[in-house]
Amino acid sequence: MKNLSALCILLLVTTMGFGQIKVQLGIRLGLNFSNISNTDFNAKNGINATAFVEIRF
């Protein structure tokens, strides 16, 4: 009987814990404009793309 009670309490605590986890998926995009003054270099432009997963406990 004690084992059954302990198992029920453990099951209740773990399900409550998993209910608090937030998972977010996303994409980040950005532009990069690079220009060095007082030089003969040409400006270089670029695009940055990133996919991410954020897990909060």
- What is the distance between the alpha carbons of residues 1 and 42, in angstroms, rounded to a whole number? 78
Give 46's strand partners: 32
Query: Domain spans of the chain?
Result: 21-57
Residue listed under structure tokens 């009987």: 1
Q: What are phi and psi of 54, to 5 degrees?
A: -115, 125
Read off the pLDDT of residues 6-56 as tens digits, 9 standing for 90 and up.
888 887 777 665 666 778 899 999 998 877 777 777 777 889 999 998 877
Q: Is 4 exposed, middle or buried (0-12, 13-18, 19+ CB in 10 A)?
A: exposed
CB-CB contact of 45 with 30 (8 Å): no
**pLDDT on residue 32:** 85
